[in-house]
Structure 1
C-alpha cells in the first residue's frame, strides 16, 4: 500500500508549485521530490519548518532553471549540489541526488547521480530517507522508513558503523533524532556502533557538536536520549562533567529551555560554564545567560519575598533570576504558590531606572568627580533597600550630604 501525505498547505501552495514547475521545465516529470524532514514530519502530523527538495538535475542546471522561471536563485553550495530557490518569500533548499565517493568522518566527496536509491543509501536514518512528489505520494527506497517513523524507531540506513565512519556527527544525530522521534528503547545495533566509534567525536568542530546538542536538549523530553548517551560513553566524551541525575531529570520536567537544561546537566558554576561555552563555541548571548544564571543562584531563593525578588531582578536582570529560580526548583522542594507568585512578578514588573543622576547632585552643590559616583551608589543602595520608592529623592540626597538632615515626614 502506497502512503500519501494529506492536507499539507506547503505541499499545495503556489510558491511550492512554482519551484516544482521551474525544475520540471528543465528535467521533466519526477525530476524533483520533497525529501527528509518535511516528509517525515508531515507523515507524523508534526509541524514542518524547512522544505528540502531533491532533484535529478545537476546543480548548475537547477540554478539556471530557477532563474529562468523568474524566481530568486542562491548558489548556497553548488560544489556539494545545493542551490536555494526563494519563492513566495520562502526558501526551498534544492540538492542534486548524490552518492559518496570518499569520506573521512567529517566531510564527503560526492558524485551526482540520477538514482533515487543511491541517494537514499547515503542518508543517515531510514525515517529520513523518505521522498514525496507534488501529489503527496511517498517513496520509501529503504522499504522501512515509513514504518520506522510511525513506530518511533531511529535506525541507520545499512550498517551503522559504516554510516558513522562516513560522518561522526551521525552519533549525535542518532541521539538527537531519538530525543525528538524515538519511542521505547533505542536501537541496539545503533547503540553498539555509537559505543564502538565514540572516540571519532573528537574530530568534529565545536560548532557542529553544539548545534546538535542544543537541538537535542530542546526536545520535549530529552531524558531518555541523554541517558542513552551516558550509557554509550558519548556524554562523557562530550561533557566530562555532566551529571544526568535527579536534578537534570527534574529540570526536564519543569522547563523546555535548552539553555537552562544545559546548565543543569553540567553543574560547574559560573566559571565552569564560561569555559564550557568557549569550548562549545556557543554564542555570546548563550554564554552570558549561562554565566548570569549561575551567578544569580546565590542571590535568590524559591521562597523569597516580593521585595527581595524585585531587588534581585533590578541587580541581576529578570532572565538571570528566572533561570536561577528554575534551577533551584529542580534541586530543592518549593511551594507551587511561590513559584507562580515569583514568575508573575518577574514577568510583570517593569524594572525602574535610577531616578537621580549627577546633575541632581550638582544642583545641590556637589562638584562633579569621584564623590558623585560614591553618593549615587549610596543613594541606589538605600533606594533598593526601601523597595524603589517613587518620590522623596531630593530629600534622600540631602540626607546623604548632611547626615544631620531630617527629611520631612511623608
Structure 2
C-alpha cells in the first residue's frame, strides 16, 4: 500500500516549527492539525507527540533557547512558545486508571499505545514533520474519508474512561460527520446519564462549540430525539430544535455569523427566567448570561430603538429569534447607536430641582428621541422644553 503523505499547508511554515520538531526528534504532528489538513480546512492548534519524558522535553527546549511552559506535567504536556505562537508537546502515554472525569497516565515509547487512548479514529492520525508520512493505527484515514466519527475500540469503555466523549462524539459529528456510527451512537444513548458527573463548565464548552458547527441543527435534533441532554439540560426540547432550525437560515440571510448564545437561546423557551436558570447551571460568564437574558425577550420596538436600548448585538439576537422580517436585522447589523445629546444639567437649567425628577425627565426625553429616530440636538432641546413644561 502506498504511503499517505500529509499535504502541505500554511501552518507547516510557521516560524520556529521545523526547528522545534528537530529538537524533539523523534516527534510527530498529531490530532487536529493532521485531521484538518487532510480535510483542507484551516488549522487552529498544533500538537506534537514525542516519546521523550516531559522533564527531558523541558530540558531539551531550554537548551535550544525555546521558551517552555509546564502546562500539564502530570499528563505529560508542556507548551513550547514560538515566535509564531504556542505549540503543545505531549509525551506518549497510556491510561493507568480513569473515573470518567480524570485519568492517571503512564508515559510510554509506543506510538500505537498512545493512539489507542485517544477518542476517535480521525483524531489518532500522526504525521512525520519532515517527510509528511502519515501513521494510522486504527483506520482513521478511511473513517475521515467517509466522514465517520468512530470511537477507537469499545465505545462503552471509551465513554466510561471520559464521559465528555459523549458530547465530543456529537460535536465532531456536527462538524465533520455525514451519518452517526451506529455503535457509537447507541453507546452515547446508553451512557447519557454519565453526563451528570461532569462539571457544568465542561458541558457548556462542548455544547457551545457544537452549536456553531456545520450541522448543528441536524445533530441537536438527533440528540434531543435520543434523550442525550435530558439528564443535564431538560429545558432543551424538540420545540427548541425547531426554533434553532428556523434561526439558522435567518442568520445566513441576514449575513450574520452563527453565535452560540443566540443558538442556545433558540433551544430554550423564550423566558428570561429559564435563560437565567440554564445560564447559571452551565456556569456561563456574566457577559454570556446577560446576552442570553436579553435574547430571551421579544423585540418590542422598531429596530434602531431596540438596538439603542439593548445594544446592537442584543437587538440582532432578539430580531433573528423572532418572526420579524430579516431586513430589520440587516438595517441595524452594522449600525452604531448615537450618543444621547442631553445632560441632566440641561434639565436642571430649565428649572427642575436636582433629584429623581431629573432622571425621570431625562428618560422621557430619551425615549421620545429614540422613538423619533434620533433627531439632531436642536430637536432634542425642543423635546426637553415640552417635557419639562408639562412637568412644571
Alignment TM-score, normalising by the size of structure 1: 0.88
Please state how far the C-alpha of 1:383 moved relative to its aligned partner: 2.1
Partner of 2:212: 218
Following the alignment from structure 1 to structure 2, what is the Cα–Cα distance between the partners of residues 188 and 112?
33
Provide the rounded CA distance (Å) in 1 between the counterparts of 2:43 and 2:364: 55
SS at match of 1:195: helix
Decide whether the 8 Å contact of 2:303 with 2:329 is kept in 1: no
> What is the alpha-carbon distance in structure 2 between the residues aligned to residue 258 and residue 319 of structure 1?
13
Q: Measure the CA separation in 1 of the matches of 2:342 and 2:141.
A: 66
- SS of the equivalent of 1:237 reads coil
Instruction: Report the counterpart of residue 329 of structure 2 in structure 1.
Output: 343
The answer to whether the 8 A contact 1:98-1:112 is kept is: yes
- Alpha-carbon distance between aligned partners in 2 of 1:355 and 1:392, rounded to the nearest angstrom: 10
Q: Please list every run of at least 4 consecutive aligned residues from structure 1 whose deviation after the TM superposition is greater than 4 angstroms.
A: none
Aligned twin of 1:37: 32
Instruction: Name which one, 1 or 2, has greater alpha-carbon Rg.
Output: 1
Q: Which runs of 5+ in 2 are unaligned?
A: 252-257
C-alpha contact 1:73 1:86 (8 A) present in aligned 2: yes
Q: Does structure 1 residue 378 correspond to structure 2 residue 364?
A: yes
Bigger mean CA offset, 254-263 vs 394-403: 394-403
Structure 2 Cα separation of the partners of residues 195 and 383 of structure 1 = 55
Q: Which 10-residue stretch deviates more, 311-320 or 185-194?
A: 311-320
Alignment of 1:239-254 (within 5 A): 239-244=233-238, 245-254=241-250
Q: Quick one: distance in 2 between partners of 1:52 and 1:152?
A: 22
Contact 1:23 1:62 survives alignment (8 Å): yes
In 1, distance between residues paired with 2:367 and 2:250?
34
Q: 1:265 aligns with which of 250, 264, 267?
A: 267
Is 1:80–1:110's contact at 8 Å kept on the other side of the alignment?
A: yes
Alpha-carbon shift at residue 263 of structure 1 (Å): 0.8
Cα deviation, residue 278, structure 1: 0.6
1:380–1:59 Cα change, 3 Å: same
Matched residues in 1 for 2:265 and 2:388: separation? Answer: 45
Deviation at 1:404, TM superposition (A): 11
Match of 2:63 in 1: 68
CA distance in 1, matches of 2:57, 2:155: 32
Matched residue, 1:323: 317
1:360 to 335, 341, 346: 346
- Please state if 1:53 is matched with 2:48: yes
User: What's the counterpart of residue 232 of structure 2?
Assistant: 238
Does the aligned pair in 2 maintain the 1:222–1:252 contact within 8 Å?
no
State the distance in 2 between where 1:348 and 1:8 align: 34
Give the Cα–Cα distance (whole angstroms) in 1 for the partners of residues 42 and 106 of structure 2: 32
CA contact (8 A) 1:100 1:108 kept: yes
The answer to whether the Cα contact below 8 Å between 1:314 and 1:351 also exists between their aligned partners in 2 is: yes
Consecutive unaligned residues of structure 1, counting only runs of 5 or more, are 25-30, 301-307, 406-410
Q: How far off is 1:165 after superposition?
A: 0.4
The alignment partner of 2:229 has SS state of: helix
Contact 2:70/2:77 (8 A) holds in 1 = yes
Query: By how many angstroms is 1:298 displaced?
Result: 4.5
Q: Which moved more, 1:369-378 or 1:100-109?
A: 369-378
SS, match of residue 16 in structure 2? helix
Where 1:106 maps in the other structure, the secondary structure is coil
In structure 1, what is the Cα distance between the partners aligned to 2:214 and 2:66? Answer: 37
C-alpha contact 1:35 1:131 (8 A) present in aligned 2: yes
Cα drift, residue 197 of structure 1: 1.2
Structure 2 CA distance for aligned equivalents of residues 345 and 241 of structure 1: 32
User: Structure 1, residues 348-390: CA drift from partner, whole Å, max 9, x if none?
Assistant: 4331222111221233333322232232223223323332220
1:182 aligns with 2:177: yes
Q: 1:393 aligns with which of 362, 377, 380?
A: 380
Q: 8 Å contact 2:299–2:306 — kept in the other structure?
A: no
The TM-score with structure 2 as length reference comes to: 0.92
SS of structure 2 residue aligned to 1:355: coil
Give the equivalent residue in structure 2 for 1:147: 142
Question: Which residue among 325, 343, 355 is the counterpart of 1:369?
Answer: 355
Q: 1:169: which partner in 2?
A: 164
**How far, CA to CA, are the matches of 2:172 and 2:37 in structure 1?**
16
1:228 aligns to what? 222
Matched, 1:119 2:120: no
Contact persistence 1:73–1:85 (CA under 8 A): yes
Select 2:198's aligned residue among 195, 204, 207.
Answer: 204
User: CA 1:395 to 1:195, structure 2 compared with 1: closer, same or farther past 3 Å?
Assistant: closer
Aligned length: 381
Of 286, 289, 292 in structure 1, the residue corresponding to residue 288 of structure 2 is 286
Q: Is the 8 A contact 1:75 1:84 kept in 2?
A: yes
